Structure 1
Amino acid sequence: MDERDLRGLIGRVKSGQLSRRAFVQRIAALGLTAPLAGLMLADNGVAAADLRTAYKPAKAGGGGALKLLWWQAPTLLNPHFAVGTKDQEASRIFYEPLAAWDAEGNLVPVLAAAIPSRENGALAADGRSVTWTIKPGVTWHDGKPLTADDLVFTWDYARDPATAAVTTGSYRDCKVEKVDDLTVRVLFDKPTPYWCDAFVGNVGAIMPKHLFSPYAGAKSRDAPQNLAPVGTGPYRFVEFRPGDIVRAERNPSYHLPNRPYFDTLEMKGGGDAVSAARAVLQTGEYDYAWNLLVEDEVLKRLETGGKGRVDVVFGGKLEFVLLNTTDPTVEVDGEKSSLKTKHPAFTDPKVCQAMNLLIDRKSIQDYIYGRTGRATANSVNGPERFVSRNTSFAFDPARANALLDEAGWTKGPDGIRAKDGRRLKLLFQTSINAPRQKTQAIIKQAASKAGIEIELKSVTGSVFFSSDAANPDTFPHFYADMEMYAINMTQADPATWMLQYVSWEAATKENKWQGRNIARWRNTEFDALYNAAQTELDPVKRAALFIKANDLAVSQNVLPLVHRAEVSGVAAKLVAPRSGWDNDLAFLPEWSRDA
């Protein structure tokens, strides 16, 4: 990187096109330190303050149309039912939390008047309560005022088991009480170091009581606003065709001055990641393309078109393989992959370890992801204090074969292993996407050398990530032996992320497959570590507990592949601040276009 390139990067940070975090990561890749990167920015007039101060438009509106392309089309617009990222992002256009996570992993206020702290008296020293105050004057899109009653309702709505909200884990273990019309107090029955779960980030959307209260509990899926949202966000609802398109218009009563810049917004769904990348980077048909899970060499070729750029932001996103701990071939009480069954292979740690050794992560990084991903052995890949140094990965088919021998799986005449009359044949599913299909092929080829027969299954993304409880091909149903996808740790803390491994979050027919533990992995030691971390106020001890929990999960169930960047296609003149710790659209009010 020469001086010209460096000044270009600094210029992008100043304009809000590149986050400070992404700049520091790029500088660190050159062997320079993060403090030095910070000094470079400071010397060029970029302060360490919230990058939202880079917003330039002097008035709201006038920006014309903002065209977004999500190649996995949203299917609903209720953030508390949003299983897939596509539904979370579409909902974020309309609904807002009290606070969001910025690119540095810090909390910044959205609907809150300020972030609670010990200094301002809103955060209790004993970790048992936090007080939130809403900004005055915020209104819903229908003109009614946002009040503390809406926060209390949102808490009650999300925690109710009959609602079957995917966010229930964030609201179940607290109590919310109204202090006054603009203030609530969140109470915990024990010291709670992660007090900023409820009402924050992608799980924190506030819902209008006056519209959703008639549909609370068992009636939750019947609410008209599940498909026609009324929120507080920068854009108001115009039209939604599930699986196709979302249209919105500027909210003239938005609570931030001079925002939003664009007059209309269109989120188009469908297609694939390559066509989405082409539509921004090469043809300029769209302003923004989400989640460009495309080989890096392809992205580099498309960038030469000059219509847009690839924006890479690292946060907590992980591409991984889950091993089913239940048996997808047996049906119990009308339910496959039932908790009442055990997987014939993956309940043996040696088989899981063997599978881990059959994944060539370095090749996956080098030949598929390039600059957009880093091979990893960890489930938690940030912030730095939570990252384990105890794990490692290796590609070792010989050792994998030895472990399978020790586990009693012997090779037959055709080279396929079997035990107790059952062949080691596995169904491996994921969504349709070129990098994932190539990753599947790499793993299948290596597994065959160890006597494991793998059948590959690819499901259309809009189906695989659907919230449809009746569709057996969605990833929470997990009617396969292995499955691969990515999720994003959209809070700069592992507390919510680690819920995907706790026993009580298992996705089942009873909870309409809304539980976060998709593999139905159950481990009492992990549960104990998680519970201990939930009350440990010492940040060093708490980080150590999460590291131990990470090490346990990756040793028995989850097979991390790549720490993925948030990769987007951005039109040449679009200013689109993003955070790797929150939704892509978390800072949508700050988006604008250079003249």
Structure 2
Amino acid sequence: MTDKKKTGHLNRRSALTLMGAAGLIGPSMIGRDRAFAANADATGQLVLAFSQEPTVFNPLMPHIEVDEGVYYAVFDTLFDFDPDGEFFPILAAEVPTVANGGISEDGLSWTLKLKEGVTWHDGTPFTAEDVKFSLELTMDPDFRSFRSTGYKFMRNITVVSDTELTWEMSEPFAPMAAILASTYIIPKHAFEGVEDKNSAPFNNAPIGTGPFKFKNRMAGDHIELEANADYHMDGPFLKTLIIKYVPDLNVMYTQFKSGDIDVIGLQYITPDHLAEAETLAGKVVTVAGTATFESIGLNMTRPQFQDLAVRKALYAALDKTSIIDALYYGVPTPTETYMPQQSYYYNDSLPKHEFDLEKAKALLDEAGWVPGSDGIREKDGVRLEFSNSTTAGNHLREQAQQFIQQTFAEIGVKMEIKNFPPAVMWGDYWMNSEFDSVVVGLNTLAGADPDTSDYFMSTMSPTLGGAGQNTFAYQNPKVDELLVKGASSFVPEERKAIYEEMQAVIREDLPFLPVFQYAVIKGWKDDVTGPAPNVNNRIDTWNVRDWKRG
């Protein structure tokens, strides 16, 4: 048993203490603003497993968390967040700030300086034209963009030279740096002559500046990436990176246990396997907090969910404690909000959930939802029944669904379980709000910034004509007002009060029923170095450039 293994050895009840280990705001800086390093000889192969299949390879198009597992390997952002919530430069020569002149004091003028000598995987030089193209593509009304938040305020993007560009903001927008940190830059030349950028050949054969090149993909099984020998930062240290999909979480754990998987990624080791996983020889197992929260997401276009009394009754009938303790072995912690508890902006005074079936029934009675002949409540011709969907093969979620189905039935609510393979579940079904309700894990933040406009602003719902991630189709004028107000302030203390109020409004409104904040059980072979928890990023490969074998 190695010392490294011992550092990850926790009992279930102490596991959550690690969640505070990676704060969202911290003073330290990571030494990544160095110039080109002499790249080490890339050797060996590493198999990284995800429970879902990445299917979207243009990072500026609507995508989910697992797709970013590929993006971090193939593409680069201008800069990124380290585990302490501090920026470090990647394609940028330096992170623009007021202090270094990159941002004007009023936040309206930006200057971005880029590294020299960076090349795309096909050998084409990377320039400021690529950055301008990537930023403007997100604002193209004919392009299916991942988000429009922030970009819509950018004006007069001007290329000064191959390594410098400037732009103006129509209004100050505090989260802009955090949004740029999660914006992967794509090559302008790959889209030249392409009429419909939504169906460009690039979207299936991506070219990046990242540490690994896209080699081949076997749909339904794996993606093979190879080292980029001309990478502009330290690394990569691996010759081959295989991203393997194993939808059944029990099978994924068995393959990690047997050694077929080197690093177990999303959805990680399930809590029911934690006790055994801690005893595995030759494995590093550790529990880490993330900014992701689990919830029952509701499609607010459905008539059943437009009555606040229904949403409150469903929440009262949700036995969170039993789900967390019985199914998840007490590893995650219950939450009342989307904001991670490590965040400076977390509201710790929200009303605490109470499981109360009698209260749930009373709420529905008072709102006029009357049981029919089959016991299912109805009102104005609408029956209180709906489907609930999640990833097929996620056995803990599937067990939670069955438990929730039973407790909802006790208050006269019929919930039909309707699960799909990951590629179907998180494709158009999720993105275009084709679901009734879902069990979903979401990180709604951009790094350490508290802005969540992309998920909760009324105009960000694709099914209602917007370009964003508001798949709940949630509309609340007060939330819109607070999001605008919070994004216009650069003073943390002022923003804290705004986002705490917003959490209180959403907690009262319940467009989703919050269950818990994730504490995930990560694992890798003890001859692997580099994987590091980062609460400010959505996926493990944020630093895959640093991973090594031996």
Using the size of structure 1 for normalisation, the TM-score is: 0.83
1: CA distance between counterparts of 2:136 and 2:543? 27
Q: 1:353 is paired with a residue of what secondary structure?
A: helix
2: CA distance between counterparts of 1:106 and 1:166? 24
Q: 1:579 is paired with a residue of what secondary structure?
A: coil
| Contact residue 66 and residue 265 of structure 1 kept, 8 A | yes
1:305 paired residue among 280, 283, 301: 280
Aligned: 1:359 with 2:302: no
Aligned: 1:423 with 2:401: no
For 2:17, the equivalent position in structure 1 comes to: 29
1: CA distance between counterparts of 2:118 and 2:22? 38
Q: 1:475 is paired with a residue of what secondary structure?
A: helix
For 1:212, the equivalent position in structure 2 comes to: 191
Q: CA deviation at 1:496?
A: 4.9
| Contact residue 312 and residue 567 of structure 1 kept, 8 A | yes
| Contact residue 74 and residue 207 of structure 2 kept, 8 A | yes
Q: 1:355 is paired with a residue of what secondary structure?
A: helix
Superposition pairs for residues 244-259 of structure 1, below 5 Å? Answer: 244-257=221-234, 259=235
| Contact residue 74 and residue 242 of structure 1 kept, 8 A | no
Superposition pairs for residues 413-452 of structure 1, below 5 Å? Answer: 413-432=373-392, 433-452=394-413
- State the AA in 2 paired with 1:367: A
Q: CA deviation at 1:271?
A: 3.2
How many residues are matched? 537
- State the AA in 1 paired with 2:264: A
2: CA distance between counterparts of 1:590 and 1:33? 21
Q: 1:76 is paired with a residue of what secondary structure?
A: coil
2: CA distance between counterparts of 1:276 and 1:452? 34
The root-mean-square deviation of aligned C-alpha atoms, in Å, is: 3.0
2:522 paired residue among 568, 573, 577: 568
2: CA distance between counterparts of 1:51 and 1:300? 36
For 1:379, the equivalent position in structure 2 comes to: 338
Provide, for residues 381-401 of structure 1, a one-character-per-residue CA deviation record: whole Å limited to 9, x for no partner: 254321112312111111111
Aligned: 1:243 with 2:199: no
Provide, for residues 526-577 of structure 1, a one-character-per-residue CA deviation record: whole Å limited to 9, x for no partner: 1111111121222211122122222222322121111013443312221112
| Contact residue 486 and residue 499 of structure 2 kept, 8 A | yes
- State the AA in 2 paired with 1:365: I
Q: 1:315 is paired with a residue of what secondary structure?
A: strand
| Contact residue 460 and residue 469 of structure 2 kept, 8 A | yes
- Structure 2 residues without counterparts, runs of 5 or longer: none
1:291 paired residue among 266, 280, 298: 266
Aligned: 1:406 with 2:366: yes
Distance 1:249 1:395, change over 3 A: same
Aligned: 1:159 with 2:118: no
Q: CA deviation at 1:457?
A: 1.1
Provide, for residues 472-527 of structure 1, a one-character-per-residue CA deviation record: whole Å limited to 9, x for no partner: xx22233343211112245334555342111111122856xx63111211111111
| Contact residue 478 and residue 518 of structure 1 kept, 8 A | yes
2: CA distance between counterparts of 1:65 and 1:293? 20
For 1:548, the equivalent position in structure 2 comes to: 501
2: CA distance between counterparts of 1:372 and 1:102? 25
Aligned: 1:137 with 2:114: no
Distance 1:132 1:346, change over 3 A: same
- State the AA in 1 paired with 2:142: A
For 1:114, the equivalent position in structure 2 comes to: 94
1: CA distance between counterparts of 2:262 and 2:129? 38
Q: CA deviation at 1:312?
A: 2.7
| Contact residue 45 and residue 241 of structure 2 kept, 8 A | yes
Distance 1:277 1:150, change over 3 A: same
For 2:471, the equivalent position in structure 1 comes to: 518
For 2:73, the equivalent position in structure 1 comes to: 93
2: CA distance between counterparts of 1:489 and 1:153? 25
- State the AA in 2 paired with 1:521: Y
Q: 1:586 is paired with a residue of what secondary structure?
A: helix
For 1:331, the equivalent position in structure 2 comes to: none
Q: Which moved more, 1:259-268 or 1:233-242?
A: 233-242
Q: 1:519 is paired with a residue of what secondary structure?
A: coil
Q: CA deviation at 1:236?
A: 1.3
| Contact residue 159 and residue 169 of structure 1 kept, 8 A | no
Distance 1:565 1:410, change over 3 A: same
For 1:324, the equivalent position in structure 2 comes to: 299
For 1:338, the equivalent position in structure 2 comes to: none
Distance 1:119 1:61, change over 3 A: same
2: CA distance between counterparts of 1:358 and 1:27? 27
Provide, for residues 436-479 of structure 1, a one-character-per-residue CA deviation record: whole Å limited to 9, x for no partner: 1122122112111211121111111121123xx4xxxx222333
The higher relative CO (CA closer than 8 Å, separation ≥ 6) is in: 2
Q: CA deviation at 1:303?
A: 4.2
Q: 1:585 is paired with a residue of what secondary structure?
A: helix
For 1:558, the equivalent position in structure 2 comes to: 512
For 1:224, the equivalent position in structure 2 comes to: 201
- State the AA in 1 paired with 2:400: T
Q: CA deviation at 1:260?
A: 0.9
Q: CA deviation at 1:311?
A: 3.3
1: CA distance between counterparts of 2:433 and 2:62? 17
2: CA distance between counterparts of 1:29 and 1:169? 34
| Contact residue 227 and residue 240 of structure 1 kept, 8 A | no
2: CA distance between counterparts of 1:476 and 1:114? 35
Q: Following superposition, which runs of at least 4 residues in structure 1 exceed 4 angstroms of deviation?
A: 25-28, 30-35
Q: 1:136 is paired with a residue of what secondary structure?
A: coil
Q: CA deviation at 1:87?
A: 1.6
- State the AA in 2 paired with 1:564: Y
Using the size of structure 2 for normalisation, the TM-score is: 0.90
For 1:182, the equivalent position in structure 2 comes to: 163
| Contact residue 291 and residue 443 of structure 2 kept, 8 A | yes
Q: CA deviation at 1:116?
A: 2.0
Q: CA deviation at 1:96?
A: 0.7
For 2:347, the equivalent position in structure 1 comes to: 388
| Contact residue 42 and residue 227 of structure 2 kept, 8 A | no
2: CA distance between counterparts of 1:108 and 1:267? 26
Q: 2:390 is paired with a residue of what secondary structure?
A: strand
| Contact residue 61 and residue 250 of structure 1 kept, 8 A | no
- State the AA in 1 paired with 2:438: E
